[in-house]
Amino acid sequence: MSATTPDLSLYDPFTGMRFAQHCFLCGTPTPAPSDSVLVFDRWLLERYQLTDLQIKLLDQSVLAYPELRMPCCAECRQQYVEPLEQTVAQAVQTGAVALRSLDEKTLFLWLGKMFYGVMLLEILNELDPLVKPLYPLAENTQLLRKLQCFFQVFQALRVPIVYEDFTPASIFILETAPLEDTIPFEYDDDLSTMTFSIKLDETVLVSCLIDNGLLRQAMGRVYRDAQRPLHPIQIAEFKARVYYGAYLLNVVPDYFPRPVQPGDTELVFDTLIDDVTREIFNPWENSAYGTSLQEMWKRWQIPYTEIMRDARQPLSYLYDQDGEPLVLERWEGLTEK
């Protein structure tokens, strides 16, 4: 393949559900276990000392971070995955400002790679006949359809793709205040809503990977107000809003690659969201949001009853009673509030 004629052919692993022993990006058979890449790259494992840590899959089986791998051919690894990881690693090394100034597409592809990697592990695990998962993803057609849409835009990691007038994901970039910030690395996800969050030193990236930026629009004010160093309990609240908001999202975008003309060097994708026959978000319910808060605030052990003391206005550390942004340097327990 010469440099002047890039390969614009798309790949769809969902046709025939080809996930095992095929490159996750291009579908090339990868029979050897060494034909693979780490879901969380080596530099992350080293920088944040994750080598001995484990991750729990949905069926409760446990894997160590270095065991989290996805099949990948040598070409895709060298040409696409490694350069992407290098770009982000360098930015993290340089500092939070460099990380925050990476372009959205790079962040989307990088977050997307880890999200998709975790997802693949879950699916591959389920295809193991000995495993009886509680909530089988491979049988969840709605989720598979979302994942398929996600993969269409995510393969911009390999194929030069222009997103015409849209951005595939909502990406939020937050900064923690150092005073009570003790955890350098943190990662969580919600596979069903395709939401993913990762903390790298003082920077926290939170993303809903399949909403065409709708959540970020809807959270415009909260996100603007959060553009300041935040206490970890405030970050957790922000994440609860994103995770719950993603859960309310009621639409899945459709993506349409334009027909390729001779001489084209990139694909152009258009998108459509059906906001005519259905609401974009289901209605917000404080009681359900309170559960999301409780989950995100687990570290602070705040009881649900405290969170919901005022059912019309669940407990907040981002805003005070009058709805003004709250400055919180130390969290000194519930009585402080």
List of residues contacting Zn ion (CB under 5 A):
23, 25-26, 28, 73, 76
Paired tokens of 264 = 């084209």
CB of 41 to Zn ion, least distance (A): 17
Q: Which is nearer to Zn ion, 79 or 87 (CB)?
A: 79
CB of 28 to Zn ion, least distance (A): 5
Round to whole Å and give the CA distance between 255 and 155: 12
| Among the listed residues 92, 113, 112, the one whose alpha carbon sits nearest the alpha carbon of residue 102 | 92
DSSP-assigned letters across all residues of 111-132: HHHHHHHHHHHHHHHHHSTT--
Q: Which is nearer to Zn ion, 14 or 304 (CB)?
A: 14
Using an 8 Å Cβ cutoff, are 23 and 73 in contact? yes
| Among the listed residues 250, 262, 263, 316, the one whose alpha carbon sits nearest the alpha carbon of residue 286 | 316
Q: Which is nearer to Zn ion, 73 or 296 (CB)?
A: 73
Q: Which is nearer to Zn ion, 77 or 337 (CB)?
A: 77
Place of tokens 């990977």: 209
CB of 151 to Zn ion, least distance (A): 14
CB of 72 to Zn ion, least distance (A): 6
Contacts within 8 Å (CB) and 24+ apart, 76-79: 76/23, 76/24, 76/25, 76/26, 76/28, 76/158, 77/37, 79/158
Q: Which is nearer to Zn ion, 26 or 191 (CB)?
A: 26
CB of 111 to Zn ion, least distance (A): 20
